[in-house]
Amino acid sequence: MSSALPSGGSFLLPFILGAPLLAMFVIVFMPKDETKMIKIIAAMGTFVAMALSLFAFFAYDRSLGGMQFTLTIPWVPDLGVNLAFGVDGLSLPMLLLTNLIGFSSIYASWNMENRAKEFFVLLLILITGVMGTFIARDLFIFFLFYEIVVIPIYIMVIIWGSTKRVSKEYAGMKLTIYLLIGSAFLLVGMVALYLAAAKQGNPTFMFDQLAARQNLYSAPFQKAAFGLMLFGFGSLISMFPFHSWSPDGYAGAPTAVSMIHAGVLKKIGGYGLIRLGVYVLPLGAKYWAPVIAALAIANVLYAAFIALAQKDLKYVIGYSSVSHMGYVLIAIAALNPTSINGAVAMMFAHGVMSALIFSMIGFIYEKTHTRNIPDLGGLAHQMPRLAIGFIIGGMASLGLPSTVNFISEFTIFMGSIRVLPVQAILGIAGIIFTAVYTLRIIANVMFGPRRPEWDQLKDIRGPELVPLIVLGLVIFAAGIFPNILFGLVNSGVTSSGLQKVLETVSQAKMGGLF
């Protein structure tokens, strides 16, 4: 961990961050007709990032825990901003997830010919931005990276998106406005937190410093600040009732954006709630937990009901992702180490699953030019490989044992059943609806009699197989050997002082503050 560098840091994370960025710069200076070369360079950049983050994933010292591969450079001294990178058991799975999906998303867009140069430049900016939020240890830098992603997404949706139930311009603007209004309140909360932490001088944005100065935040302040964070991060994780951007946005967006957005970008909301909400403002988290739990149930059940009635494949998966985020929110509301473990694992599992299924839907749409469920059917006859990918994604979605999703959901219910019994049971009921709509789309799209109009379709092959192989492998690898993932997450949760934080919260309860 330690080295002879002046700042005593590791440059692994900046390299991971820099790889897609470098590819982006190379592409900027390439002629725009060289689409093949552009795709290869984009794939190389994301491959390097993926390989390095896999290395980090296995090189991370789990017995030691805490932030590793750290690098701290003072950036804006008068504000106390540090360019601080580092990963722990919470952020490292998210970093890996980003790069797995980023790499797959390049291949999911392999047939993109229309304005390919601009597309891949924006896609690489998007991947870099998402990655930056997870490796930042400084709130300011975290926010900076988070907001970088909003504008490329808008441009990508309006240019390469598809107009179905709503126009792509509408979908793009709705998504952007929801996220930006959420982030406006988040910014107020962030400034308030920053000022409260700097009351006795030494302004700082570092997450660990902010968490260490909890004695400076009064209970009312924590409640108010957590409320703002909940609104901001809640919109991002599509918490009911701020979720309606999500199905429209995913339906309008091009495949790669849907994959990244549903796969990782959303998870910034959950990650932020844990990292900033639970660790830094535990009293606020305790105060808002019942609200989060109630809204989470609305997420799980309401979104699942709506998913049942959808005709457009992307809308089904869009609502299903809203529904699954409800589990993450229940776990956060339960506020104990087991449930937080489950929340992080669930974010990882859902990310891989939704990216896989969105990429498969992308291929279906590319080949058949429709996503309307009644128009499709029997695709497994003509495209068996695509059907396999679709079914793996669907099975993971409904939490079949041996997929990583099963373990995550199980952990969440283990963690939350004692604290929130009613909500946990209602949440388990949600799985039934998930099974219904998932099996329905698999049956209606993949199976059934052979349809002659699809006979000329070619199965996915060559580069198109990459998302299926990469993401499918991860689903089963982490599902069959869960300790690969859970050992890391658990080391993050236990070593980061969550136990102590939660003790503080329970003491506050005994003290009659609530």
Partner 1 sequence: MADFNIAAVLTPEVALAAMALILLAIGLLIPPSARKGMMPLTAFSLIGVLSYTLYDFFYNPKTSFLNGLYWHDQFAVYFKILFLAAALLVVLSSGGYIQKIPKYRGEFYSLILTATLGMMLMAGAGEFIAMYIGLELMTISFYILVAYLSDNPRSSEAGIKYLVLGATSSAILLYGISLIYGLTGSTQFSEVASGIGATFSPASFLATVFILAGLGFKISLVPFHFWAPDIYEGAPTPVTAFLAIASKAAAFAALIRVYLLTMNSQAFSATGQTLLVVLASLTMILGNLMAIPQTNIKRLLAYSSVAQAGYLMVGIIAESAAGVRGVLFYAMIYVFANMGAFAVATHVSEKQGSDEIRDFAGLARRSPLAAVVMTASLLSLAGIPPLAGFVGKFYLFSAVMGKGYTAIAYIGFVMSMVSVYYYLLVVKVMFLGEGEDLPDVPVHGATKFTMLFSFIITIAIGLYPTPLAQMAIAAAQSLVP
Number of residues counted as binding partner 1 (CB under 8 A):
33
* Residue list 47-86, contact with partner 1 (CB under 8 A): 75-79
Smaller CB distance to partner 1: residue 154 or 327? 154
Asked if residue 191 binds partner 1 (CB under 8 A), the reply is yes
Smaller CB distance to partner 1: residue 207 or 390? 207
Q: Which two tokens stand for residue 208?
A: 């660990």
Query: What gap in Å lies between CA 122 and CA 172, rounded to an integer?
Result: 15
Q: Which amino acid is at 487?
A: G
Residue pair 392/356 in contact (Cβ under 8 Å)? The answer is yes
Strand partners, 81: 76
CB atoms within 10 A of CB 372: 11
Asked if residue 194 binds partner 1 (CB under 8 A), the reply is yes
**HSE-up (13 A, CA, CB side) for residue 366:** 21
Asked if residue 185 binds partner 1 (CB under 8 A), the reply is yes
Smaller CB distance to partner 1: residue 206 or 485? 206
CB of 157 to partner 1, least distance (A): 10
11 exposure class (CB count in 10 Å sphere: 0-12, 13-18, 19+): middle
Q: Tokens 């109009």, residue?
A: 453
- What distances in angstroms separate CA 47 from CA 39, 52, 121, 124, one per listed residue? 12, 8, 16, 12
Smaller CB distance to partner 1: residue 34 or 147? 147
CB of 187 to partner 1, least distance (A): 5
Asked if residue 195 binds partner 1 (CB under 8 A), the reply is yes
Smaller CB distance to partner 1: residue 244 or 507? 244
* Residue list 364-383, contact with partner 1 (CB under 8 A): none
444 exposure class (CB count in 10 Å sphere: 0-12, 13-18, 19+): middle
Smaller CB distance to partner 1: residue 170 or 410? 170
CB of 501 to partner 1, least distance (A): 26
15 conformational bin, left if phi > 0, alpha if psi -120 to 50, beta if neither: alpha
Mark residues 143-162: x for contact with partner 1 by CB under 8 A, - for none: xxx-xx-xx--xx--xx---
- Read off φ and ψ for residue 70, nearest 5 degrees: -80, 155
Smaller CB distance to partner 1: residue 145 or 271? 145
- Of 10, 35, 91, 176, the one binding partner 1 by CB under 8 A: 176
Q: What is the DSSP letter of 278?
A: I
Contacting range for partner 1; rule: CB under 8 A; set: 40-48, 139-147, 346-354, 501-509: 139-147
CB of 195 to partner 1, least distance (A): 5
Smaller CB distance to partner 1: residue 44 or 159? 159
Asked if residue 26 binds partner 1 (CB under 8 A), the reply is no
Residue pair 358/318 in contact (Cβ under 8 Å)? The answer is no
CB of 144 to partner 1, least distance (A): 4
Strand partners, 85: 71, 136
- Of 99, 133, 183, 321, the one binding partner 1 by CB under 8 A: 183
CB of 270 to partner 1, least distance (A): 21
Contacting range for partner 1; rule: CB under 8 A; set: 60-68, 170-178, 346-354, 441-449: 170-178
Q: Helix, strand, or coil here: 85? A: strand
Pairing of strands 81-87, 68-76: antiparallel
Q: Residues 47, 83, 238, CA angle at the centre, nearest 5°?
A: 65
Contacting range for partner 1; rule: CB under 8 A; set: 137-145, 234-242, 315-323, 380-388: 137-145
Asked if residue 184 binds partner 1 (CB under 8 A), the reply is yes
Query: What gap in Å lies between CA 96 and CA 103, rounded to an integer?
Result: 11
Radius of gyration of the chain (CA): 22
Query: What gap in Å lies between CA 473 and CA 466, rounded to an integer?
Result: 11
CB of 115 to partner 1, least distance (A): 9
Query: What gap in Å lies between CA 445 and CA 389, rounded to an integer?
Result: 13
* Residue list 311-350, contact with partner 1 (CB under 8 A): none
Mark residues 224-263: x for contact with partner 1 by CB under 8 A, - for none: ----------------------------------------
Smaller CB distance to partner 1: residue 103 or 194? 194
CB of 283 to partner 1, least distance (A): 20
- Read off φ and ψ for residue 83, nearest 5 degrees: -80, 85
Contacting residues toward partner 1, per CB under 8 A:
75-79, 118, 140, 143-145, 147-148, 150-151, 154-155, 158-159, 169, 173, 176-177, 180-181, 183-185, 187-188, 191-192, 194-195
